[in-house]
Structure 1
Amino acid sequence: MQAPARGAHSKTKAKAAPGPGHAEPAPPLPSQTLAKPGVQADMQLQPLSLARDYRGSGKLEGKIAIITGGDSGIGRALAILFAGEGAQVAIAYLNEDEDAKETCRLVEAEGGACLSISGDVQDTAFCEGLVAKVLVKFGAIHVLVNNAAFQEHAERIEDLTEQRLEETFKTNVFGYFHMVKAVLPHLGEGDCIINTGSVTGLRGSKNLLDYSATKGAIHAFTKALASNLAERNIRVNAVAPGPVWTPLNPADKKSGDVAEFGAKTDMRRPAQPEEISPAYVFLAPQACSSYITGVVLPITGTAAEG
């Protein structure tokens, strides 16, 4: 991968975790909160996306990838790695224009082309239009990464309104269905779909009742779709991250909770996006995962279940 993409700097520093793995920022983290949907450019402690130790080897040479929620966080990190592996990338995002522009800059610094398209995956017409624009720009689609998400904490189930349930499910579940249906006619043998699940879909989260339910649904959808598409030789897998330092949580949590984000993992810190993105690179090319489908890969920073 080329050096020019690796120039991002945090606006503030946090102490490093004493646990295993990389010595990445650990709690107490900045207690800054963000307005939804959360703009990564506004974060005092910038997420690490560039994977400086990673070396591409052309595993996605000639491939075209669509990444929803690709403007920031995990989406940005994997867009950079996909480009470093030779892919051309299209990112879909809601309205975070500044973040999307920066992601495209980083992708292009890796030698890839980047198409950014703003819209809401809740809307079937947007998903279909996104696919049409990608086909006009690149002529094909080989990898779909469903990564867009909405979450909002609530202490009691009584606090979950019908409108809130619809927002969470229409983004996190309906959006995945819409994107798959729009992309599927253009996928061929050896192509793949990767969904972003969550540790909350594996273990639940008492203050993320609706979000946990959607992530559990995504895991089940992944397994069912993998079986459904096996005869077409299209692989479907999911990555289930634990806590990751992205705009999603500072745009949702209270300041005190943001400061301690990830502290309860065995690693005693949240993951950085660059620590999650290589899993998507592993699942995307046939060279790495031709015999892997229907898998939900947990990357939670914790060994123990429960």
Structure 2
Amino acid sequence: MTGLNTFEESQDEARTNKNTEPPQQTQNPPGTVTGMTPEPDHGETSWVGRDRLGDVRALVTGGDSGIGRATAIAFAREGAHVAISCLSSELADAQRTREIIDIDGRGGCEVFETDLRDEDRARELVDDAASWLGGLDVLVNNAGTQRGRRENGIEDLTTDEMREVFDTNLLGTFWVTQQALDHMESGSSIINVTSIQAYDPSGNLIDYAATKAALTNFTANLAQQLGPRGIRVNAVAPGPIWTPLIPSTMDADSIPDFGKNTPLGRPGQPSELAGAMVFLANNAEASYVSGALLAVTGGRPIF
């Protein structure tokens, strides 16, 4: 009964965290988990593995926090061996992800510092991760960035900012994916993280939304190209999710209302994306799922 009570207590804690309204706050990009109030739920105490990804070898870009951390934790508890990437400024969060996994994840975890805006480093990441893992079965293209603090919209958008977002979100994904194909065989899976912004874009996220729309088509195109090789390609479209990207790119006074425009009336937690990720990575449960997009948006439509 002790184990059951502990699980029920963790679920109560997770439910409380989901329904806690975040107060006004701000951080410098890219932001950190420890600087957030409340800290996001990545499934640290709530995700229970069921051996659905036993010995799968996975690379999760941007695995230091947010959706990437939740995915890495869930994958490891499902038995996967996980490599995660991060920027040097996010290393502390990435090391915390590895510590959480090392405590009770069935699979191992390794951290690779890199900047996906650099083509050579993006490709080296894949080769280094595949070498550590002994191959590559699942790629999660999660790393991304946005800039939302603009008073005058496109008039405040600089070329350098546009390049940063496009290089990280789109070109970085392209380079990593192309390099990953050297290590993937039939039965492998690629999961791209797009966004509701691809379907219902906010005016001040013109660059970010454009990259997410491109990634949606990239997913559909790639699924058609790689299907004959037995490699499945899918995407997950998150809605408003409570990650470091939010307080580090949004105005402080907008934070308390973040996610209230969804039918569920609240922001999602990173852990609430993990189920979709595990399902798409599982070559048994999702063996005929390719070219699909799963919406995790709190009820906001993507059609």
Query: TM-score by structure 2 length?
Result: 0.90
For 2:198 and 2:284, locate their aligned partners in 1 and report how far apart those are by CA, in whole Å: 29
Would you say 1:75 and 2:68 are equivalent positions? yes
Aligned counterpart in structure 2 of residue 33 of structure 1, from 26, 29, 52: 26
Matched, 1:219 2:216: yes
Match of 1:40, SS? coil
- Please name the residue that 2:240 is paired with: 243
Aligned residue number for residue 131 of structure 1:
126
1:88-115 per-position Cα deviation (integer Å, ceiling 9, x unaligned): 0000011211101100011112132111
Give the structure 2 partner of residue 48 of structure 1: 41
**Which of 248, 273, 277 matches 1:276?**
273
Aligned residues: 289
Higher helix share: 2
Distance in 1 (alpha carbons) for counterparts of 2:121 and 2:302: 39
Candidates 143, 148, 152, aligned match of 1:148: 143
1-structure distance, mates of 2:145, 2:259: 19
Corresponding letter in the other structure for 1:41? T
| Preserved contact between residue 204 and residue 212 of structure 1 (Cα < 8 Å) | yes
* Uncovered stretches (5+) of structure 1, i.e. residues with no partner: 7-15
> What amino acid is aligned across from residue 29 of structure 2 in structure 1?
K
Residue 78 of structure 1: CA displacement? Answer: 0.8
**Amino acid of the residue matched to residue 104 of structure 1?**
R
Structure 1 vs Structure 2: percent identity of aligned residues?
A: 40
CA distance in 2, matches of 1:258, 1:44: 11
Report the AA paired with residue 241 of structure 1: P
By how many angstroms is 1:25 displaced?
Answer: 3.7
CA distance in 1 between counterparts of 2:24 and 2:282 reads 39
For residues 92 and 60 of structure 2, what CA distance do their matches in structure 1 show? Answer: 17
Normalising by the residue count of structure 1, what TM-score does the alignment of the two structures yield? 0.90
Task: State the 1:52 CA deviation.
Answer: 4.2
Distance 1:67 1:304, change over 3 A: closer
In the alignment, the residues of structure 2 paired with residue 231 and residue 305 of structure 1 have an alpha-carbon distance, to the nearest angstrom, of 28
Go from structure 1 to structure 2 and tell me whether the alpha carbon gap of 1:182 and 1:206 turns closer, same or farther (over 3 Å shift).
Answer: same
Matched AA of 2:40: P
Q: Secondary structure at the match of 2:285?
A: helix
Q: Supply the distance in 2 between the matched residues of 1:53 and 1:43 (Cα, whole angstroms).
A: 19
Structure 2's unaligned 5+ residue stretches are: 7-12
Q: Secondary structure at the match of 1:249?
A: helix
SS of equivalent to 1:277: helix
Q: CA-atom RMSD, angstroms?
A: 1.9
3-state DSSP class of the match of 2:245?
A: coil
Partners of 2:18 and 2:46 lie apart in 1 by 17
- Look up the match of 2:180: 183
Q: Distance in 1 between matches of 2:215 and 2:251?
A: 26
- Per-residue CA deviation, residues 196-222 of structure 1 (Å, 9 max, x unaligned), is 000001111111111000000000000
For the structure 1 residues 112 and 182, does the alpha-carbon distance in structure 2 shift closer, same or farther, using more than 3 Å as the test? same
Aligned partner of residue 84 in structure 2, secondary structure: strand
SS of match in other structure, 1:227? helix
8 A Cα contact 1:83 1:112, kept in partner: yes
Decide which of 94, 98, 102 is 1:100's aligned counterpart. 94
Q: Do the aligned partners of 1:64 and 1:140 also contact (CA within 8 Å) in 2?
A: yes
